[in-house]
Amino acid sequence: AQTVTQSQPEMSVQEAETVTLSCTYDTSESNYYLFWYKQPPSRQMILVIRQEAYKQQNATENRFSVNFQKAAKSFSLKISDSQLGDTAMYFCAFGSWGAGSYQLTFGKGTKLSVIP
Amino acid sequence: DGGITQSPKYLFRKEGQNVTLSCEQNLNHDAMYWYRQDPGQGLRLIYYSQIVNDFQKGDIAEGYSVSREKKESFPLTVTSAQKNPTAFYLCASSIGSSNEQFFGPGTRLTVL
């Protein structure tokens, strides 16, 4: 079974600064995906960024980028130029195929507060 | 607009009653999922369905039941056997070949 660990329950960052959220995972599989989801106060889950394990290049989406270290099983999220709208819970998730189905395993989340 | 809808947004239930949460999608996705979210617990998988008329138990299926009679619909019933049903429930869907899951807005269930 896969496990996903987010070691930072809460973090804060000044507006316009950069913050990095940590995520580690444990798996014996070689083919998988990793995701970061954002859950703002509205509680709507929104995909922020995803990374295919077979790709060495780190994924980027505008102000969001990841540092994917496959050997270390680490998948951190960097948010640049933080904005007030980035205030949310952030969940790291591991996705893989098993027993004929595709499933996601989520970490417990990091609550990020952007301070004006 | 394509998307996933969940209803109701808030639901109150008396102890001992069954209650059904609705989840509908018009994305033409094959797979659908139900998650439970508790404070400090992240999301935990209750049930999932890869195809119509077929579904599988997730990590915390006890006290819950589902059906998948139509591709667009995947209702979740919280039965009286669920010991602690108060939680936020999220429905999601995905295309079989895509690994991204799209989420509905959620239903907050409170047992009185």
Tell me if A95 and B99 make a contact (CB, 8 A cut-off).
yes
pLDDT of residue B91: 97
Chain A residues with CB under 8 Å of B103 CB are 44-46
pLDDT tens digits for range A15-26: 999 999 999 999
pLDDT tens digits for range A84-115: 999 999 999 999 876 667 789 999 999 999 99
Q: What secondary structure, in 3-state letters, does chain A show? A: CCEEECCCCEEEEECCCCEEECCEEECCCCCCEEEEEEECCCCCCEEEEEEECCCCCCCEECCEEEEEECCCCEEEEEECCCCHHHCEEEEEEEEEEECCEEEEEECCCEEEEEEC
**Residue A36: closest CA among chain B residues belongs to which residue?**
B100
Interface test with A, best of B36, B43, B103 (most A CBs within 10 A): B43
